[in-house]
Amino acid sequence: MSLPIPPQRPSMCPRQASSSSFADAFDDARRKLDEMGVQEPGEDEVLSPSLSASSSATDVSAATAGVESPSPLSPATPTTVPITPMVEDVADNFAFAFDIDGVLIRGGRPIPEAVEAMKVLNGENEWGVKVPYIFLTNGGGKFETERCHDLSEQLEIDVRPGQFICGHTPMREFADRYGTVLVVGGEGEKCRDVAESYGFRDVVTPGDILKANAHTAPFRKLTDKEHANSRDLLARHGAEKLSDIVIEAIFVFADSRDWASDLQIILDIAQSKGGRLETRSETFDEGPPIYFSHNDVLWSAAHEHARLGMGALRRIVETVFEDTTGGKKLKTHAFGKPQVSTFEFATRLLQQWRATQHGLRQTKPPATVYFVGDTPESDIRGTNAMDAISENEWYSILVKTGVYQPGTEPKYKPRKLVDTVLDAVNHGIRREMARLASGKDTGGRILPLNDVGLKAVAEGQSPDIEGQDSFLTMA
């Protein structure tokens, strides 16, 4: 028998039929939120990089959930109650999704509790149950297969591309929309290679433009290797002059390695006549669309303090565009967390992963997805926003091993605040087991409950889900 599905919360917005692509989903999600009068996170607004600022009026869920303090453990005597076996020892009713930097990895090394957390999900828990999980990072700049290989070694598990989304993964679904595109960011030619593997047909890099006109960025000189790797734009396009070449869209795939020259080139094209290189618009409203793979202003790296991320470049692009065009506004787009469309993309990936890896082929998504992150502005905000519009529950858990500074009030409130990813995993599994124990179906599997929890179940009560630690044996 499978886990009983807990009572569904009232749906604020009935789930529509799945979109066929991320590009469609991106548009659908924006339309849906417009209809609801909800501003999608990260769009059309300037976010403060401050971690301690008060909640924004656009936070659709922070008001509904406060930060929980860890519940005091009950000293009551441990005992057990039988509960239902699960299909092939796989939890079919809930799943986990993880941010990576600051949650599992920091500065290229695994956070100590992360390896243990993965073991718990893979069945090394007191119930012997495996829990499906995926990874959802805003980072990028490598092929998904390469990042999965790295993660596999770091976490001592086998991570597959089928359970992995990085910042630029959804961009693959835009490959058919545009011909010539500018791809920015990453090491060397890597992001061009990734973009071409996604199916983009004509990928121009800032290096190509600097090679064609070295005066583009006065203080940037290509190295011999960069010059050799960069393409001859005129020859490739059969053009006589650069203004014959039209950039149809700009994609910032990964963090810029040279902000000054990349900023200059992005702004040149944003202010061009319809994307034509080396031209200047008179109206400053005809540049091509600009997409950033995410919007994180800060991220957790090896340094003691959080480092500037792509979201900072996005703000600079928009601000300087306005400053240099007499006040014209530049509208750019961001994927990644906290965009709801990225979480919808994750939902589809999770469904595929549950079906192919765990044999869970039912059409319903898991009743609850626990999302574990370290950045309130992207991880928690996005999870809460997804929860607000989704039929199933998206439950945000904030850890203290990354961007979030313990002791401060997070701008976007998680459902649960814990020390490490291991605490997050244990919290989610125990919460599910407490739910299970509170249901009617209790034959089979053994669930350790303390006397308080047992009494509640015996009396037909539902354990207090949010404070359920006090019902469980914590041995």
Closest listed residue to residue 393, CA positions, set 12, 117, 89? 12
Q: Which is nearer to Mg ion, 104 or 270 (CB)?
A: 104
Q: Does 206 bind Mg ion (CB under 5 A)?
A: no
Q: Which is nearer to Mg ion, 375 or 392 (CB)?
A: 375
Nearest distance in Å: CB 400, Mg ion = 12
Give residue 100's Cα distance to chain centre. 9
Nearest distance in Å: CB 402, Mg ion = 5
Nearest distance in Å: CB 418, Mg ion = 15
Nearest distance in Å: CB 315, Mg ion = 19
- Please identify, among the stretches 31-39, 338-346, 369-377, 459-467, the one whose residues bind Mg ion according to the rule CB under 5 A: 369-377
Whole-number Å distance between alpha carbons of 44 and 41:
9
Q: Does 344 bind Mg ion (CB under 5 A)?
A: no
**What SS3 string covers the chain?**
CCCCCCCCCCCCCCCCCCCCCHHHHHHHHHHHHHHHCCCCCCCCCCCCCCCCCCCCCCCCCHHHCCCCCCCCCCCCCCEEEEECCCHHHECCCEEEEECCECCCEECCEECHHHHHHHHHHCCCCCCCCECCEEEECCCCCCCHHHHHHHHHHHHCCCCCHHHEECCCHHHHHHCCCCCEEEEECCCCCHHHHHHHHHCCCEEECHHHHHHHCCCCCCCCCCCHHHHHHCCCHHHHHCCCCHHHCECCEEEECCCCCCHHHHHHHHHHHHCCCCCECCCCCCCCCCCCCEEECCCCCEECCCCCCCEECHHHHHHHHHHHHHHCCCCCCCCCEECCCCCHHHHHHHHHHHHHHHHHHHCCCCCCCCCEEEEEECCHHHHHHHHHHHHHHCCCEEEEEECCCCCCCCCCCCCCCCCEECCCHHHHHHHHHHHHHHHHHHCCCCCCEEEEECHHHHHHHHCCCCCCCCCHHHHECCC
Instruction: Give the pair of three-digit tokens for residue 446.
Output: 């053994």
Q: Which is nearer to Mg ion, 102 or 275 (CB)?
A: 102
Nearest distance in Å: CB 379, Mg ion = 6
Q: Does 387 bind Mg ion (CB under 5 A)?
A: no
Interface with Mg ion (CB under 5 A), residue total 5
Q: Which is nearer to Mg ion, 375 or 470 (CB)?
A: 375
Q: Which is nearer to Mg ion, 102 or 463 (CB)?
A: 102
- Please identify, among the stretches 175-183, 203-211, 272-280, 366-374, the one whose residues bind Mg ion according to the rule CB under 5 A: 366-374
Nearest distance in Å: CB 373, Mg ion = 6
Q: Which is nearer to Mg ion, 101 or 144 (CB)?
A: 101
Q: Does 140 bind Mg ion (CB under 5 A)?
A: no
Q: Which is nearer to Mg ion, 82 or 406 (CB)?
A: 406
Q: Does 255 bind Mg ion (CB under 5 A)?
A: no
Q: Which is nearer to Mg ion, 104 or 367 (CB)?
A: 104
- Please identify, among the stretches 95-103, 163-171, 219-227, 279-287, the one whose residues bind Mg ion according to the rule CB under 5 A: 95-103
- Please identify, among the stretches 94-102, 158-166, 322-330, 362-370, the one whose residues bind Mg ion according to the rule CB under 5 A: 94-102
Q: Does 99 bind Mg ion (CB under 5 A)?
A: yes
- Please identify, among the stretches 49-57, 270-278, 373-381, 427-435, the one whose residues bind Mg ion according to the rule CB under 5 A: 373-381
- Please identify, among the stretches 99-107, 170-178, 211-219, 260-268, the one whose residues bind Mg ion according to the rule CB under 5 A: 99-107
Q: Does 382 bind Mg ion (CB under 5 A)?
A: no
- Please identify, among the stretches 39-47, 235-243, 368-376, 418-426, the one whose residues bind Mg ion according to the rule CB under 5 A: 368-376
Whole-number Å distance between alpha carbons of 59 and 385:
8
Residues 6+ apart with CB under 8 A from 160: 148, 357
β-sheet with 202-204: strand ranges across: 202-204, 180-184, 249-252, 290-292, 333-334
Q: Contacting Mg ion (CB under 5 A), which of 59, 92, 101, 387?
A: 101
Q: Which is nearer to Mg ion, 307 or 364 (CB)?
A: 307
- Please identify, among the stretches 162-170, 306-314, 372-380, 440-448, the one whose residues bind Mg ion according to the rule CB under 5 A: 372-380
Closest listed residue to residue 335, CA positions, set 22, 19, 18? 22
Q: Does 374 bind Mg ion (CB under 5 A)?
A: yes
Whole-number Å distance between alpha carbons of 152 and 314:
31
Q: Which is nearer to Mg ion, 111 or 247 (CB)?
A: 111
Q: Which is nearer to Mg ion, 330 or 403 (CB)?
A: 403
Nearest distance in Å: CB 376, Mg ion = 10
Q: Contacting Mg ion (CB under 5 A), which of 6, 41, 102, 288?
A: 102
Summarize as ranges the residues that interact with Mg ion (CB under 5 A): 99, 101-102, 374-375
